[in-house]
Amino acid sequence: SRSINLAVVPGDGIGQEVVAQGLKVLRSVLPQDVKLETKEYDLGAQRWHRTGETLPDAELESLKGHDAILLGAIGDPSVPSGVLERGLLLKLRFAFDHYVNLRPSKLFPNTATPLAVGDEQRGAIDFVVVREGTEGPYTGNGGSLRTGTPAEVATEVSVNTAYGVERVVRDAYERANARPRKKLTLVHKNNVLVYAGHMWKNIFDKVGQEYPDVTTDYLHVDAATIFFVTQPERFDVIVTDNLFGDILTDLAAAVTGGIGLAASGNINPTGEFPSMFEPVHGSAPDIAGQGKADPTATVLSVALLLRHLGHETEAVRIEEAVAADLAERDASVPRTTDEIGDALAVRVAS
């Protein structure tokens, strides 16, 4: 569409810094006739300290009215662990039914990687993890008995519904079918997690019958971590549950240039609610406010946002600008957050 009504949640720590660069690049890439409206939401650690609120209903309601959400990072060591993660970030993902957590990884030329790869292999490392975003052990379905005593028992139940699994598996098949290699790998642990694991595999096989052109594969999650390091080029699209996907995508980022480059989209494919785009990294309080954070992951998340809203040309322009910027990077000449944002904004300028 010819206008974008964007909600901006910079959040905590470096979230503020990287989101500013993401917006800079967004403004630079959009053609004149696309009107961009932004509204910033003050949510995160400071808000919680001030008012005790994480995400009031009125703000949740107001966020609903936007075309998309750009989020920086949530979390701060001054707030008890879980308060903001559950009360804000996961609350948004659940309330807006972000059942596809899309996390692409690509090994760009000239990017540092701990992998021993030749140049030919680099180009072949290009995969996307479709992480389920609304179920698994993330639902808060659990409890603790005799808390704090030596006899404590804690449970954290992984919730998997046929409805929830089928919709994310179908989305992953669609994505695989649209890519040149058309390969989809299911990652789970069905040799141990026999209830959820078998349900995932059965649904995966059943939906697969509708996609005869997609080649399928299954890996246990532990084996998958080996291949992420030894043979990442074997992957094209991966579909997995919320927790496995969380862990695998940090590993994916680590082997493809680091967490500074990893983008993500929390997508509600039906369009009923706004989708939310955020770098995979966290608020990095150790470097916050120093202009050291790499805004590239946020800028690439803006590309995912534009693609989701149908602005494919602009999305590609951003991705090409990032590739070109990475190709010219010299690790011995570090740039500030702002300088990287400026360089990318110049490259994408329309």
The reply to whether 241 sits near Mn ion by the rule CB under 5 A is no
126 lines the binding site for Mn ion (CB under 5 A) = no
Q: How far is the CB of 85 from ligand IPM (least distance, A)?
A: 4
Nearer to ligand IPM among residue 75 and residue 257 (C-beta): 75
Say whether 250 is catalytic. Answer: yes
Does 278 interact with Mn ion (rule: CB under 5 A)?
A: no
**Where do contacts with ligand IPM occur on this chain (CB under 6 A)?**
75, 85, 89-90, 246, 280
Nearer to ligand IPM by Cβ, of 173 and 265: the residue is 265
DSSP secondary structure code for residue 27 in this structure: H
Closest separation in Å from C-beta 251 to Mn ion? 10
DSSP states of 117-171 as a string? Answer: --HHHHHH-EEEEEEE-S-BGGG--EEEESTTSTT-EEEEPPB--HHHHHHHHHH
> What is the total count of residues that contact Mn ion (CB under 5 A)?
1
Min. distance of Cβ 246 from Mn ion in angstroms? 4
User: Closest CB to ligand IPM among 111 and 242?
Assistant: 242
Q: Is 288 annotated as a binding residue?
A: yes
Q: Transcribe 237-293 into DSSP letters.
A: EEEE-HHHHHHHHHHHHHHTT-GGG-EEEEE-TTSSS-EEEEESS---TTTTTTT-S
For residues 208 and 237, the answer to whether their CB atoms sit within 8 Å is: no
Helix (H) or strand (E) holding 220: strand 215-220
The response to whether 196 counts as a known ligand-binding position is: no
Residue of 76, 138, 171, 241 marked active site:
138
Measured in residues, the chain has a length of 350
Footprint on residues 1-30 left by Mn ion (CB under 5 A): none
**147 Cα distance to chain centroid:** 34
Instruction: Pick from 59, 132, 246, 325 the residue near Mn ion by CB under 5 A.
Output: 246
236 touching Mn ion, by CB under 5 A: no
Instruction: Determine if residue 283 is labeled as part of a ligand binding site.
Output: yes
222 is catalytic: yes
Minimum distance, C-beta of residue 117 to ligand IPM, in the bound complex (Å): 25
H or E stretch at 187: strand 183-188
What is the C-alpha to C-alpha distance for residues 136 and 157, in angstroms, rounded to an integer?
Answer: 8
Q: 310 labelled as ligand-binding?
A: no
Shortest CA distance to 253 belongs to which of 149, 116, 114, 92?
114
CB of 138 to ligand IPM, least distance (A): 7
Residue 282 is labelled as binding a ligand: yes
C-alpha 203/C-alpha 206 separation (Å) is: 5
Catalytic residue at 189? yes
How many helices (H) does the chain have, and how many strands (E)?
Answer: 13, 12
Q: Is 250 among the annotated ligand-binding positions?
A: yes
Q: Annotated catalytic sites, by residue? A: 138, 189, 222, 246, 250
Query: Which residues contribute to the site for Mn ion (CB under 5 A)?
Result: 246
Residue numbering of the annotated binding site: 93, 103, 131, 222, 246, 250, 282-294
Binding residues for NAD(+): 282-294
